[in-house]
Amino acid sequence: MRREPQYTWMFLAGVLVAIGCGSRPQDAAATSQEQGGAKPVRLAQATEGSGVAPAPAGSGTIRGTVKFSGAQPAATHIKMDADPQCQLQHKEPVSKQDVVVNPNGTLQHVFVYVKSGLEGQTFAPPADAVVLNQHGCMYQPHVMGIQVGQPLEIVNGDATLHNVNCKPANSKPFNIAQPVQGMKSKKQFTAQEIMVKCACNVHPWMAAYVGVLPHPYFSVSGEDGGFSLNRLPAGDYTVEAWHERFGTQTKTAHVGDGETASVDFDFSG
Ligand SMILES: [Cu+2]
């Protein structure tokens, strides 16, 4: 019993010595981290965790308009009578989407992309999927772009059977049935291709076109006929506009850092 206080003191002294001795390596480690020892470790971990390096992005822009100077085609309505589920989703008759001229005289559904000028640069595909929906027996969107290796999510928004028959020449073709509303399928394309056509064999009017590129610089002309290729590195580019009926046109453009170049296309039909 008498020796207990001594043992207690010795124990406490031992702990204090241990803390005192231990503090020096910790301080030394903290100092080395402040001098740069920790930062490279954190960066390395972040890079490994995300799987890929962040895509380089510039500050240049190429934008413009796709005009249409041909005779405006008459709208052709699609006959959906064969499948009541199709027309149920539409209040008005649905027009074909191959030639859509906007009220301002521009052309919709034109795929505009950087055809050359990015050689030697690599752009990691986004992890976020591009969605191709089937709604009212129409593809939404009708024309779209995606990066090589980026997930493509195909969704059946209809209470009817669709099959999605995509026939790329450079990637593995696929043909999947989606009999139930809400079904989702994930696919991807493994090689560049302008353009991949996807169609439904149940509803012969259904067609979608997918531009597959190794970079993110693409755009589709919308209801105002405009397109914009954003965050381009400074450089000289060839830009191509593709339309399913009227073929392709190319233009060249130079953009510097922070600059915007204007490029217009004009399809005459
Ligand atoms: Cu279908």
**CA distances, 141 to each of 21, 111, 131, 259 (Å):** 67, 12, 8, 30
Fold that domain 60-267 belongs to in CATH: Immunoglobulin-like (2.60.40)
Q: Phi, psi (5° rounding) for residue 36?
A: 125, 0
State the pLDDT at residue 71: 87
CA of 203 to the centre of ligand 1 (A): 4
CA of 101 to the centre of ligand 1 (A): 25
How far apart CA 63 and CA 40 sit, in angstroms, is: 39
Q: Is the CA virtual torsion 179, 183, 186, 189 positive or negative?
A: positive
CA of 80 to the centre of ligand 1 (A): 11
Q: Phi, psi (5° rounding) for residue 231?
A: 60, 40
Chain Cα centroid distance, residue 83: 32
Point out which residues pair with 131 in neighbouring strands: 153
∠243-105-254 over CA atoms, to 5°?
60
Point out which residues pair with 123 in neighbouring strands: none
State the pLDDT at residue 1: 41
CA of 210 to the centre of ligand 1 (A): 17
CA of 132 to the centre of ligand 1 (A): 13
Q: Dihedral of the CA atoms 77, 79, 83, 84 (nearest 10)?
A: 60
State the pLDDT at residue 39: 32
CA of 184 to the centre of ligand 1 (A): 14
Q: Are 2 and 9 in contact (CB under 8 A)?
A: no
CA of 181 to the centre of ligand 1 (A): 12
What size, in residues, is the chain? Answer: 269
CA of 202 to the centre of ligand 1 (A): 5
CA of 34 to the centre of ligand 1 (A): 61
The amino acid at 102: N
CA of 84 to the centre of ligand 1 (A): 12
Q: Are 220 and 236 in contact (CB under 8 A)?
A: no
End-to-end Cα distance, the chain = 107
CA of 213 to the centre of ligand 1 (A): 26
pLDDT per residue rounded down to tens, the chain (269 residues): 444 444 444 433 333 333 333 333 333 333 333 333 333 333 333 333 334 445 568 999 999 999 999 888 888 899 998 898 998 889 899 999 999 999 999 999 999 999 999 999 999 999 999 999 999 999 999 999 999 999 999 999 999 999 999 999 999 999 999 999 999 999 999 999 999 999 999 999 999 999 999 999 999 999 999 999 999 999 999 999 999 999 999 999 999 999 999 999 999 97
State the pLDDT at residue 75: 80
CA of 205 to the centre of ligand 1 (A): 8
CA of 164 to the centre of ligand 1 (A): 8
